[in-house]
């Protein structure tokens, strides 16, 4: 039997890829956060960041921090990477939020795209709602103007979705209205007396749904049983993991030996500027493939080069994260700096590899290592490019003179 999480991942990936990536170019500006030219949007960071109630930001806003609160008005798009996000004001564009706790209590004219442990929506979202988390709560005062695509362990949909509602989770409770089709991949599905579905109700799961007598489904109700899962083969699983670890250790030793200063500088960025590194890493991972795809047709070599560099940096990012973890362990235990970063890199890689084998925790550890490592690399590379431009600026200007 296919687990709901696996089925959800396959289907949600297709749905997200098929959606229109409108206004994604705003993220491209944020990739160059470390260069002096990034004035196309407002950027705020800190332990606690608050947009006061009487404040209006007539621009796009990027925020990183521990606790972020938006009580005022943002006329453009809002991008937030934080521990806790609370939006009580109004956003004239779309919202992209990544945090442990996301609370959207104000109006959002565009779309809401977020991921966190807990995601709560309690007001209107003008376009689409796309979110993932452990617990998703769409309150009874929430109204989604178009479609909703959600995934989580438990999902409560008490509000109104004008378009299609597609949800994947362990338990889903529908207590609101759906203007078109409701599609679920779920273990337990419950429709209360207040549930209203104008279109069809289609759900995939081993158990039949609990549909209250007062629930109304105007279309058909279709229960799809999960496909039988093929038996798992364990033949070469562990040997390949060991081979992968050995290769990564050798690659780390060689890379840190050749470029010790650059690798340590990227790892130090994680320690000194963790929120900026998280933001830059996430943006670089998301935006770079988009840029490569855009350039692939008109400028084939450029698109291929960017795509290849992106794949290479994804692998190198593990090394950077390993150096950071290893050096942190040495500082905590030995109370001193390690004279050779390669020792920290090897220790950190082994620790990350071991944590990556733990169920549920493993994917989170591996993803965090890639994002933070990529962010550290991105900041070092960005500052290197900026420094090169500054050095070449005066000489170029002098050479261009009579």
* Backbone φ and ψ of 91, nearest 5°: -125, 120
| Residue extents of the structural domains in the chain | 4-224, 237-387
CA angle 158, 160, 163 (to 5 degrees): 135
Q: State the Cα torsion 16-21-24-28 to the nearest 10°.
A: 80
Which residue carries 């993220």 as its tokens?
A: 27
Six token digits for residue 36: 């002096």
Under a CB-based contact definition with an 8 Å cutoff, are residues 66 and 83 in contact? yes
CB atoms within 10 A of CB 1: 11
Q: Do residues 138 and 148 lie in contact, with contact meaning Cβ atoms separated by under 8 Å?
A: yes
pTM to 2 decimal places: 0.63
The residue behind tokens 């963790």 is 274
Residues 6+ apart with CB under 8 A from 109: 90, 91, 92, 93, 126, 127
- Give the gyration radius of the chain's Cα atoms: 24
**Does residue 226 contact residue 2 with C-beta atoms inside 8 Å?**
yes
pLDDT by residue, tens only, the chain of 402 residues: 444 444 444 444 344 433 333 333 333 333 333 333 334 578 888 889 999 999 999 988 988 788 999 999 999 999 887 889 999 999 999 998 888 899 999 999 999 988 888 999 999 999 999 988 889 999 999 999 999 999 889 999 999 999 999 999 999 999 999 999 999 999 999 999 999 999 999 999 999 999 999 999 999 999 998 877 666 555 456 677 788 888 888 888 888 888 888 888 888 888 888 877 877 787 777 766 665 655 555 555 666 777 777 788 888 888 888 888 888 887 777 666 666 778 788 888 888 888 888 877 788 888 888 888 888 888 888 777 767 666 665 444 444 444
Distance, CA of 138 to CA of 122 (rounded, Å): 6
Rounded to the nearest 10 degrees, what angle do helices 274-296 and 260-272 cross at? 120
What is the rounded CA–CA span in Å between residue 205 and residue 82? 35
- Distance (Å, whole) CA 258 – CA 249: 14
Nearest C-alpha neighbor of 135 from the set 169, 97, 96:
169
Backbone angles phi, psi at 286, to 5 degrees: -80, -45
């Amino acid at each position: 039997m296919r687990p709901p999480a696996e089925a959800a991942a396959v289907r949600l990936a297709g749905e997200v890829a098929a959606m229109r990536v409108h206004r994604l170019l705003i993220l491209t500006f944020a990739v160059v956060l470390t260069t002096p030219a990034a004035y196309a949007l407002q950027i705020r960071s800190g332990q606690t960041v608050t947009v006061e109630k009487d404040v209006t930001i007539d621009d796009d806003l990027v925020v990183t921090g521990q606790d972020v609160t938006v009580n005022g008005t943002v006329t453009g798009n809002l991008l937030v990477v934080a521990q806790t996000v609370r939006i009580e004001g109004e956003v004239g564009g779309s919202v992209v939020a990544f945090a442990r706790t996301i609370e959207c209590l104000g109006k959002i004219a565009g779309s809401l795209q977020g991921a966190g442990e807990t995601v709560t929506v309690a007001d209107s979202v003008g376009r689409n709602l796309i979110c993932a988390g452990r617990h998703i709560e769409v309150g009874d005062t929430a109204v989604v103007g178009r479609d909703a695509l959600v995934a989580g362990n438990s999902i409560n949909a008490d509000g109104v979705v004008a378009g299609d509602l597609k949800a994947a989770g362990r338990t889903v409770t529908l207590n609101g209205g759906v203007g078109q089709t409701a599609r679920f991949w779920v273990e337990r599905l419950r429709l209360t007396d207040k549930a209203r579905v104008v279109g069809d109700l289609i759900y995939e799961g081993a158990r039949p749904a609990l549909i209250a007598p007062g629930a109304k489904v105007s279309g058909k109700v279709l229960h799809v049983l999960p496909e039988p899962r093929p038996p798992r083969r364990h033949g070469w699983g562990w040997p390949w993991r060991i081979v992968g670890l050995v290769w990564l250790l050798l690659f780390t030793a060689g890379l840190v030996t050749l470029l010790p200063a650059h690798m340590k500088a990227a790892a130090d960025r994680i320690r000194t500027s963790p929120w900026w590194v998280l933001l830059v890493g996430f943006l670089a991972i998301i935006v770079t493939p988009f840029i490569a795809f855009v350039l692939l047709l008109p400028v084939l070599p450029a698109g291929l080069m960017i795509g290849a560099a992106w794949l290479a940096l994804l692998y190198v990012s593990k090394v950077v994260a390993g150096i950071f973890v290893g050096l942190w362990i040495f500082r905590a235990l030995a109370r001193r700096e390690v004279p050779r970063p390669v020792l920290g890199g090897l220790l950190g890689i082994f620790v990350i590899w071991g944590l990556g084998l733990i169920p549920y925790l493993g994917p989170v550890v591996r993803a965090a290592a890639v994002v933070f490592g990529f962010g550290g690399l991105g900041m070092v590379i960005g500052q290197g490019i900026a420094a090169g431009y500054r050095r070449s600026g005066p000489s170029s200007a002098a050479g261009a003179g009579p």
